[in-house]
């Protein structure tokens, strides 16, 4: 029983700790480059809408929301510790400009 508990704890830790990507933007990368390199794999365009990736409520439709999500991730989404500074601003802005209102 104790073994089972420890195994469960170890698996949970692995899942949470695994939620980080080491994607690093190339020098001079634009917001679009970073989005295509880091986000597109999971965030496809909304069906029927070209280049619109998110539908957000107005309180989330800002660059800070994107920046926070990219830096912190979530249970489901990896965080990107190597997207920082101007790169973080650029990709947040790009994603915001390609979002629709809910
Ligand atoms: C491995 C898959 C994966 C990658 C890569 C990924 N995401 Fe996500 N993202 C998710 C999942 C799953 C969710 C939904 C769960 C959640 O909100 O945490 C999500 C949610 C989000 C949300 C919240 C949307 C909402 O409706 O509240 C934003 C914003 C977001 N991602 C931005 C990004 C950006 C920008 C990048 C690239 C830097 C990125 N994601 C990369 C999987 C991913």
Number of C-beta neighbours around residue 78 at 10 A = 16
Look at 48 and 1; give whichever has higher pLDDT.
48
Separation CA 55–CA 100 (nearest Å):
5
Averaged pLDDT, 51-66: 97
List ligand 1's pocket residues with C-beta within 6 A: 38-39, 41-43, 54, 56, 60, 66, 69-70, 74, 76-78, 80, 91, 95
Least confident of 3-7, 40-44, 50-54: 3-7
Separation CA 26–CA 87 (nearest Å):
10
The answer to whether residues 43 and 52 touch, using CB atoms and an 8 Å cutoff, is no
Distance of CA 94 to the CA centre of its chain: 13
Look up residue 81 and give its two tokens.
């510790």
For ligand 1, what atom is nearest to the CA of residue 23? Answer: 38
Q: How confident is the model at residue 1 (pLDDT cuts 50, 70, 90)?
A: low
């Amino acid at each position: 029983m104790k073994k089972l508990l420890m195994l469960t704890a170890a698996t949970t830790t692995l899942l949470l700790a695994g939620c980080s990507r080491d994607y690093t933007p190339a020098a001079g990368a634009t917001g679009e480059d970073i989005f295509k390199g880091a986000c597109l794999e999971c965030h496809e365009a909304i069906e029927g809408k070209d280049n619109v990736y998110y539908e957000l409520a107005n309180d989330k439709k800002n660059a800070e929301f994107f920046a926070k999500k990219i830096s912190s991730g979530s249970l489901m989404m990896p965080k990107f510790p190597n997207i920082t500074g101007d790169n973080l601003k650029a990709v947040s802005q790009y994603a915001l400009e390609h979002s629709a209102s809910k």
